[in-house]
Each structure stands twice: as C-alpha cells, then as structure tokens.
Structure 1
Amino acid sequence: MAQTKKVTKKPSSTKRAVDWNEALRPLLKKYRGRKHPLAYQNAYQLIVMIVLSARSSDAIVNNQAPALFAAYPDFNALSKAEPEALYPLIKGPGYRHKAEYIIGIAKDVAATGVIPEDIDRLTQWKGFGRKSANVYMSQMGLKAEGIIVDLHTLRVSPRLGIALSDDPKKMEAELMERIDRKQWHQAGMALTFLGRETCRPTDPHCDECLMNPVCGFYKKKKK
C-alpha cells in the first residue's frame, strides 16, 4: 500500500486586511466640521464656484466670486446673462465653457424653482460631474450617494492603499466599498484635506501624518 506523504502547511503570508473605518477615525476627527475652502454663502454661490473651480484653484475662485455675485446675485439674475458678459469676471482656464455652464444651470433652476438634491439629477447639468455633485451634497448636508474624488484623493488613496485605481469613477467605487456610507461625506473631505495639507505631491509630511501607521507609501519609505 502506497504511503501518503504528509504535507505540512506553511504559515499564511497574507497580510491582515486594514479596517479602513477604524483606520480613518483619527483623520475624520481632525477634519470634522471643516468647511470646504470655497468661500460660499449659499447654495447658489457654491454651485457656481464649484463649476468655476475646475482646472483652477479655490483661491482664484474666491478672489473672482465677489465681483461676479455683485453683478449676478442669484440664479434668476444669472439666467438672464449673456456668456460674453461673464468673461471678464471669470478669466481663467475654460472660462468660455464655464460661462455657458453656469448660465445653463441658472436657467434650469430659475425655470423649475428647484435645486436638485440627488446625484443623478445634479450630474445632468453640463460642467457638473460626480465630484462636483458630491462636493455640493456634502456641503449642503444632503444624503450621501458617493464620495468626493478630486486630484488630492487620486494621489492620497493609492499611497495609503485604501483604493488603487487611477480612474476617478473606479476609485470612488473602491472607496464606497471600504468606507461605511454614513462616513462618505466626511471621509471624502478628510482625504482631500489630507492631500492639501500633509500628503503633498512632492515632499509629503509623512512623519507627522495621522495615517502613517497604515500607509503603504510610508512603510515603503521607511524600509
């Protein structure tokens, strides 16, 4: 009778998966209640400023906004504007398209009398994608339907290891799988602030980062 060779199992080399809801707690605590850097006063201003911030900086938009809102204080006023009248007020990358986008949005809201509160309706506006909708919904305290993925999130998430895709939609889906829905708005803003303040494109401040205990980038850097 043939002898059966005893196979000794090797210890598993699989690393324990990170509980990202637990790991993110210090970061969420740090940025809890922090308002978006866009200096808006109401929903109208926030929507317009979100559109203007594409391929621009919050600082530039904050500087342009007072003159724009003095001339066009609400959706009704903006809906009656001609794109050319806005050009001097919103100079910057893509300003011609942005003028058309914000006037189009204003016409829609002026006609319906309603600002949408769901992501499907918000993203029907030209110039207002998922990132824009998620920013708006988070700042207005609306029910979360997604997670903000901006340039900062696209850099920070793969470094941490929480999401690896370089495609914004796929990254958002990864984040939504790993983070409890009740934290989606807060987590999106927290990751963005982490990228703005600590996890910089060059010379990230890893040693002072709250996330370095679980950060793959930091662990490789320390080897």
Structure 2
Amino acid sequence: MDLFNEETDWAKELRPLITKYKGKDHPLNYKNIYQLMVMVVLAAQDSDANINKVTVEFFRKFPDMKALSKANTAELHEYLDKVRFNGNKIAWLQEIAETVKEDKNIPRTMKELVALKGVGRKSANVILRESGAEAEGILVDLHVLRVAPRLGITTDGDATKIEKQLMQKLPKDMWGEIGMALSFLGRETCRPTNPKHSECIVSHVCEYCLKHKA
C-alpha cells in the first residue's frame, strides 16, 4: 500500500511543530543580522558548533560590516583558518562587505540576498526569518532535506524541489517558521539513524514511521 496521502491536511498536521519550536534560539549564536549573515556564509558545509566557536574572536576584531570591508585577506585567514573551505568563504565575505558596506544596508528581500556571493536560498530564508522580514520561501537545510521526504509531504531529494513542494502544500503564513521547525525536529527527534518515533508529534502522519516503526 502506498502510504503517501495527497489528502493529508499538512497545514493542520504541521502547525503543532511551529507551536513547539517557535521562539527557540537559532543554532547559530548570533547577536545581530550582520553576525548572522557572516555565520550563514561560513556555516555552509561546516557545523554550526564550529562556526559558533571560531567567530567569537572574529567578531571582536570585525564587529560590523564596515570593519569587515576594511579587512585584508591575510587578517581574515588568521581568524577563519579552522573553517572548512575558508578560501572561498573569505572571498565571498569580502565581496559582500564591499557591496553592502554597512549593517543597515543588509538586504531584507530574497532577490537582493541571493544576489550576494555565498548566499543561497537556504541562507536567505534564515536571514529573512531571523530579521523578521516577510517570508518568501521555506528553509531547506540538511535536516529538512531528510525529514520532509520521510514525512511524505515531499517526494524528492533535491533542496530546490523540496522547497517548491512545501510552498505549494503549505499556506504562506507558515513559510517563515516551518522550515526551522522541521530542522529542529530533524536535529532532536528524526535523526538519520534510530529516529525517536515515540517522541515525534507528527509520527501519526509520517510515512517513514508507519513503514518502519516496530
């Protein structure tokens, strides 16, 4: 039997996730949108924990976009040498700083954000959510990439297609929060191995759970 149910009211079923996780601190320990922008660029293909650690001293040295714009490559390497693929990321940050110049100029729209080097839709969705701007998409990180197909709300393994399917099936008033809620579900409950079905508040509509739960 195909457990994927096109008739599932996903908006109704997933709202409890938003209720559970809304207001939960983002895994990146940022203090302002400048710090968040830097951190989301650095966090690509690296861990949030590592980025939280290495940016403590970085932000003391470069407290805002204006300071970052004046930094040379050697200085940035000194502070970011433990970041994966730091060469590319440093170049991206330098171009962002040169373009944006000051914190007040950090974009608050999807179009403007993704036009910046090193900022894709995932990062842009995070920045829009955390800055309180209007949602224009749904965050799809590596956790959502796993959780959404498991639930059965999406049928693809590609982040772009998953975001599109989520946007089609969920009302816009959920877009800003549901991505992060699914991400937290993936971090805490719907783990890659041994997911905690008994603790999952959406297990009753989850394809993966219905197929694998003992």
Establish whether residue 205 from structure 1 lines up as the match of residue 196 from structure 2: yes
> Which structure's CA Rg is the greater one?
1
- State the alpha-carbon separation in 2 of the partners of residues 123 and 16 from structure 1: 32
Choose which of 159, 162, 171 in structure 2 pairs with 1:171. Answer: 162
User: TM-score normalised to the size of structure 2?
Assistant: 0.94
Establish whether residue 79 from structure 1 lines up as the match of residue 34 from structure 2: no
- State the alpha-carbon separation in 2 of the partners of residues 14 and 41 from structure 1: 41
Tell me what 1:181 maps to.
172
Q: Contact between 2:64 and 2:102, CA under 8 Å: does it hold in 1?
A: no
Establish whether residue 65 from structure 1 lines up as the match of residue 55 from structure 2: yes
Give the unaligned 5+ runs of structure 1. Answer: 1-12
Establish whether residue 42 from structure 1 lines up as the match of residue 26 from structure 2: no
- State the alpha-carbon separation in 2 of the partners of residues 73 and 67 from structure 1: 10
Quickly say closer, same or farther: Cα 1:198–1:179, change in 2 above 3 A.
same
Q: CA deviation at 1:182?
A: 0.7
Q: Please identify, of 165-174 and 86-95, the stretch whose mean Cα deviation from structure 2 is larger.
A: 86-95
Q: CA deviation at 1:110?
A: 0.9
Name segments (4+ residues, structure 1) moved above 3 Å.
13-16
Give the unaligned 5+ runs of structure 2. Answer: none
Which structure: greater helix fraction? 2
Q: CA deviation at 1:111?
A: 7.0
Quickly say closer, same or farther: Cα 1:111–1:60, change in 2 above 3 A.
closer
- State the alpha-carbon separation in 2 of the partners of residues 170 and 222 from structure 1: 27
When the two structures are aligned, how many residues end up with a matched partner?
211
User: TM-score normalised to the size of structure 1?
Assistant: 0.90
Tell me what 1:216 maps to.
207
- State the alpha-carbon separation in 2 of the partners of residues 14 and 162 from structure 1: 8
- State the alpha-carbon separation in 2 of the partners of residues 16 and 66 from structure 1: 46
- State the alpha-carbon separation in 2 of the partners of residues 15 and 44 from structure 1: 42
Tell me what 2:183 maps to.
192
Percent of matched pairs sharing the same residue: 45
Tell me what 1:114 maps to.
105
Q: CA deviation at 1:98?
A: 0.7
- State the alpha-carbon separation in 1 of the partners of residues 113 and 136 from structure 2: 12
Cα RMSD between the aligned structures?
1.7
